[in-house]
C-alpha cells in the first residue's frame, strides 16, 4: 500500500496539506457514517497517517519509496552532478544517449533543496532511462 496514495497526497506535499486530506478522509470513512463498520479504507487511512505524521517515520518511508523506485527504475543510466549539465538561464539540460534530453529548472532544484533532498531522478524526455543527479555540491 502506498501511504501517499491512500491519503490522496503526493510525496512533495507539506504535512499540513496531507493532514487536511487525512481529516477529510477520516470524516468521510468514519465508522459512524458507515453503520458502525470500520472499513478497510478507514483502517488504511489511519495506518497511512500514522506513518506520514511522524517526521522520522515519514523520512524512513520516503527512503523506502526511493529505493523501490530505484530498483524498479533499474534503467538509471548514470549518476551526474549539476556541473555536467548545460545551463541556460534557469534551465539545466543534459543530452541522453538516445539524443533525448534530461531537463530540470532552477525552481525544481530550489524545491528539492528546500525539501532537503540530496539527489533526484530525472527521466529522459524520449526514452525510459533516468539519471540520478546529486545536488549537494553547492
Ligand atoms: Zn533517452
Domain boundaries, the chain: 3-67, 73-134
Under CATH, which architecture does the 73-134 domain have? Answer: Roll (3.10)
Average pLDDT over residues 2-10: 95
Segment holding 76, helix H or strand E: strand 76-81
| Ligand 1 centroid – CA 128 distance (Å) | 6
C-alpha cell at 71: 530498483
Residue 73 pLDDT class (50, 70, 90 cuts): low
Beta carbons within 8 Å of 56's beta carbon, 6+ residues apart = none
| H helices present in 12-105, as ranges | 15-28, 40-52, 55-72
Neighbours of ion ligand 1 (CB under 5 A): 96, 98, 100, 124, 127, 129
What's the CATH number for 3-67? 1.10.287.110
| Ligand 1 centroid – CA 16 distance (Å) | 37
C-alpha cell at 53: 505524521
Q: Which of 35-39, 51-55, 97-101 has the lowest mean pLDDT?
A: 35-39
pLDDT digits (tens, 9 = 90+) for 11-49: 999 999 999 999 999 999 999 988 888 899 999 999 999
pLDDT at 68: 79
Amino acid at each position: 500500500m502506498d501511504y501517499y496514495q491512500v491519503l490522496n497526497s503526493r510525496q512533495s506535499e507539506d504535512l499540513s496539506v496531507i493532514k487536511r486530506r487525512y481529516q477529510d478522509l477520516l470524516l468521510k470513512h468514519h465508522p459512524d457514517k458507515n453503520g458502525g463498520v470500520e472499513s478497510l479504507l478507514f483502517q488504511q487511512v489511519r495506518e497511512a497517517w500514522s506513518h506520514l505524521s511522524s517526521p522520522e517515520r515519514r523520512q524512513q518511508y520516503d527512503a523506502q519509496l526511493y529505493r523501490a523506485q530505484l530498483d524498479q527504475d533499474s534503467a538509471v543510466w548514470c549518476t551526474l552532478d549539476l556541473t555536467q549539465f548545460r545551463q541556460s538561464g534557469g534551465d539545466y539540460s543534459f543530452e541522453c544517449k538516445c539524443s533525448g534530453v534530461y531537463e530540470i529548472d532552477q525552481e525544481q532544484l530550489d524545491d528539492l533543496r528546500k525539501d532537503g533532498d540530496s539527489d533526484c531522478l530525472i527521466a529522459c524526455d524520449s526514452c525510459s532511462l533516468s539519471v540520478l543527479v546529486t545536488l549537494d555540491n553547492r
